[in-house]
Structure 1
Amino acid sequence: HLESKTLLGVDFIKSAKIVLNIPEMKYSFVDKPDREFDLIAEPESLTKQVMVNSINTTLALREDEGINLEPVEKDRVNLLLHQYQEIFGENGEPTPYGTHYIRLTDDTPISVPPYRLPPTKKEALRQEIEKMVENDIIEECDSAYAAPVVLVPKKDSTVRVCIDYRKLNSITVPDRYPLPRMDDLLESIQPAKCMSTIDLRSGYWQVSVNEEDRDKTGFITPFGIYRFKRMPFGMRNAPATFQRIMDRFRSGLVDITVLVYLDDLVVLSADLDKHLEDLSVIFERVKLFKLNANR
């Protein structure tokens, strides 16, 4: 018997002439095939630990998360994240639970000259446009609508493409669907020991624009005119459209405290066991709605 655990690889197995019988969990030696020995399986707890250690580290809890959890409790959370890793990917499909419509008081197309961009910004815009086309967010078009582009710097030195839809918004029929009041959300919070926040990945881009309205989203660049296939940021009724979808998302959730404000969700539970159950239900609904979350 070895005093410490040792990992024996294929080279050792070949040199020792070991024959493995995995279906029956036994092994023997080439020169003594009639004498078999039992393969001893690892305890289930160790198997689970190996699974935890093999989880994609981008899904596992970060150092600033779960700071009040014991190591075993963190492992349980990590296993749940691993189980639902598909919702943290990049699903190319829009949600089937809502569509963005654009109704105008005046059907005369609005066209605004493009804002000037220095050469370095043009290259950054070109790269972002290519990504958005590749991800099926926008497409080239010959729309008579043309809103100007504004580039906003991000913390990671890249840029965010924003469209100045102020003139279009001024003739957009408002959607009066209510957004939650922050004070009402805060008042609805019940005492809880566990809380998780879920941020949907570019939430608006997970919603389709009604095909007949897509030309109205047209925007002008040095490389041509494009229109949105997914709901753009900066449109007057985009928050109402998204909140309507998320209220459908929350509908029917029984015995689960989940606060929803646009693409931010907060799940509150009395203890870890209940919290993991609640998160499982929420993650299943994220899958059902074909949404994706940041990790």
Structure 2
Amino acid sequence: MPSRRHYDLHRCRHLPQEVPWPCLQHSLQRRLSVAFFYSKSSTSTLTTSDQLFHLQQGSSSVNEYTIYFRTLTAASSWNEVALLSAYWQGLNPEIHAAMALYDDSIGLESFLQRTVSQRLAACQPPVTAPQPASVAAFYPVPEPMQTDTTCLSRAEKNHCISLGLCLYCGNQGHLIRNCPVRPPRPVHLPELRWDPCDVIRWSEQCYDRCLSNLPLPRSIPVHLASTQVESPEREFTPEIPAEYAAFQDVFSKQAVTHLPPHWAWDCAIELLPGVQLPKGRIYPLSIPEPQAMEGYIAEALKQGFIQPSTLPAASSFFFVGKNDGGLRPCIDYRQLNPQIIQQPYPLPLVPAALEELRGARIFTKLELRSAYNLIRIRAGDEWKTAFNTPTGHYEYRVMPCGLSISPSVFQTFMNEVFWEFLHRFVVAYIDDILIYSRNQADHRQYVQQVLQKLREHSLYLKLEKCEFHQPSVQFLGYVISAEGVQMDQGEVNAILEWPQPNSVKELQHFLGFSNFYHRFIQNYSSITALLTSLLRGKTKHLTWSPTAHKVFQRLKTIFSTAALLHHPDPELPFTVEVDASTTGVGAVFSQAV
């Protein structure tokens, strides 16, 4: 069936308003002759259902195939979903590639019309249209769970092509198929064997559009990454530095598969009095997900991470895709979280933590493996984490993702583990650890002390995510070096390529995303005051003005030239800048370098 993502890429309006009688007569004769041809070529003993089930386009055109399909649907008792499936299965592979971007929820008739229109548009030569005086390019919003994009009109496409601009990002020097910021389109036409979940053969579309940068042989089956709960293994695994070879057990992948013991830091789930227990429904799963779910449930039961539940509370279970192709199991705790008494301990402030790095020149970044699963649920609270699946009712024995208290619980645990190292040479933020020092000798000693603490508390690291003895590292959205702190260039590019907001929600997304780096922009609040004013009140519609557009573009320009934030030096004088407000007090510390 077509992809669930709705990309309305082809807007074809080629039907004339007036049809001459000879053309109409010829069209009727052609339609009747096509139906007669298909009926003669079909076995007379086949029922209408059999003919629909075995219908194939073959050497016929899309128009001829669609005409005969309509004659069969008139005599069929199948519902629309079954008819749409039969029509889709009978199309030739090259039509699959073009129509896989359309959502099947548009209905059977609309899908038939779009199939024919798309094929007609693909066969026609491009039409040169007058170029407008100015054309606004549309860019994709780089945010999670994106399922739609803005389409360029034919005039806008022609204008971009004439200027040599990419139809995706609007920049020069490359075409859309080579765009460096364009994510791969979800178009795949492999031959699959569902029983063992293997790919028999990747199609040319897969290699051209999605697998061009992967060193995969074409002669052997490739295991389906989309059915794996764990991320695909990397072909290149970094080695543990020689000076830390004695801590090889801290990087173990197998140790995290064992049920951890109860600690003093177990996750306690305290509920408000008189709460209503969550009653989650069972979410439908896509084709590869049932097998992934069964594998995850079987593995988690074997490891002891979950156990069957008989109590009435239950939340919903579903999967979300990872960037590397795996599937992440998630529990929908949105009904449970408001009923939980929240932990009083907040997460540390990242900017304040980064100020401790002054004078540091060498950095090591560590990331824990399966961090939350290393914390047990307090005995007796397991039933509160229960979830429903199509195959059973289960509850967690380890702390799952999705609970509102999970980050605070784990941060408290990390602070207890590294309490003697914090504010000296360690920054710990949930499962990310940064070690910093002024010289190599101290740094090796610090890293060994941290690894020893991890060993003592049965915590394990992802070697592929660790970086040792680096002059610069990416940490929590920042690039940290001896010179200071910079914005992550990937995040900056996302801001620069952000399209003009067309709704209140889109503007909220933009301001929320850019506000993360407000410390790098002088007078950020004053610059964004006009945009923020558009969100006041209970307005549901965004009133975008030329002035707002200028502020939007100015903010992008400022982000592209944002300066480096130097580490504060307590030996140098500070300047305190205070506002002149009569209703409040605000101040900013700055330092000349």
Common topology (TM > 0.5): yes
More strand by share: 1
Measured at CA, do residues 241 and 231 of structure 1 come closer, stay the same or move farther in structure 2, by a change above 3 Å?
same
What's the counterpart of residue 99 of structure 1? 266
Per mean C-alpha deviation after superposition, the further-off stretch among 148-157 and 228-237 is 148-157
Residues 127-147 of structure 1, C-alpha deviation per residue, up to 9 Å, x if partnerless? 122222233221222131110
Q: Identity of aligned pairs, percent?
A: 25
Measured at CA, do residues 86 and 59 of structure 1 come closer, stay the same or move farther in structure 2, by a change above 3 Å?
farther
Alpha-carbon contact 1:256-1:278 (below 8 Å) kept: no
Which of 268, 291, 300 is matched with 1:132 structurally?
Answer: 300
Which of 243, 248, 254 is matched with 1:80 structurally?
Answer: 243
Mapped pair 1:60 → 2:201: no
CA apart distance, 1:253:
2.9
Q: Which has the higher contact order (CA 8 A, sep 6+)?
A: 1
Q: Which has the larger radius of gyration?
A: 2
Matched ranges for 1:143-292 at <5 A: 143-253=311-421, 256-292=424-460
Runs of 4+ with >6 A deviation: none
Amino acid at match of 1:163: I
Measured at CA, do residues 256 and 277 of structure 1 come closer, stay the same or move farther in structure 2, by a change above 3 Å?
farther
CA separation in 2, counterparts of 1:232 and 1:93? 13
SS in structure 2 of the partner of residue 126 of structure 1: helix
Unaligned runs of 5+ in 1: 1-56, 62-77
Alpha-carbon contact 1:174-1:237 (below 8 Å) kept: yes
Alpha-carbon contact 2:361-2:439 (below 8 Å) kept: yes
Amino acid at match of 1:79: A
Aligned length: 223
Unaligned runs of 5+ in 2: 1-235, 464-593
Matched ranges for 1:41-52 at <5 A: none
Per mean C-alpha deviation after superposition, the further-off stretch among 156-165 and 85-94 is 85-94
Amino acid at match of 1:101: A
CA apart distance, 1:248:
0.4
SS in structure 2 of the partner of residue 173 of structure 1: coil
Measured at CA, do residues 81 and 135 of structure 1 come closer, stay the same or move farther in structure 2, by a change above 3 Å?
farther
CA apart distance, 1:58:
4.1
CA separation in 2, counterparts of 1:81 and 1:126? 38
Per mean C-alpha deviation after superposition, the further-off stretch among 225-234 and 254-263 is 254-263
Mapped pair 1:120 → 2:288: yes
CA apart distance, 1:97:
4.8
Measured at CA, do residues 281 and 256 of structure 1 come closer, stay the same or move farther in structure 2, by a change above 3 Å?
farther
Alpha-carbon contact 2:259-2:304 (below 8 Å) kept: no
CA apart distance, 1:246:
0.6
How does the TM-score come out when normalised to structure 2? Answer: 0.36
Measured at CA, do residues 254 and 107 of structure 1 come closer, stay the same or move farther in structure 2, by a change above 3 Å?
closer
Measured at CA, do residues 216 and 254 of structure 1 come closer, stay the same or move farther in structure 2, by a change above 3 Å?
closer
Amino acid at match of 1:113: R
Alpha-carbon contact 2:259-2:303 (below 8 Å) kept: no
Measured at CA, do residues 97 and 211 of structure 1 come closer, stay the same or move farther in structure 2, by a change above 3 Å?
closer
CA apart distance, 1:214:
0.2
Measured at CA, do residues 86 and 93 of structure 1 come closer, stay the same or move farther in structure 2, by a change above 3 Å?
farther
How does the TM-score come out when normalised to structure 1? Answer: 0.71
CA apart distance, 1:234:
0.7
Per mean C-alpha deviation after superposition, the further-off stretch among 185-194 and 156-165 is 185-194
CA apart distance, 1:93:
4.6
CA separation in 2, counterparts of 1:201 and 1:120? 25
Residues 15-64 of structure 1, C-alpha deviation per residue, up to 9 Å, x if partnerless? xxxxxxxxxxxxxxxxxxxxxxxxxxxxxxxxxxxxxxxxxx84515xxx
Residues 61-102 of structure 1, C-alpha deviation per residue, up to 9 Å, x if partnerless? 5xxxxxxxxxxxxxxxx1233210101113225263510000
CA separation in 1, counterparts of 2:260 and 2:346? 23
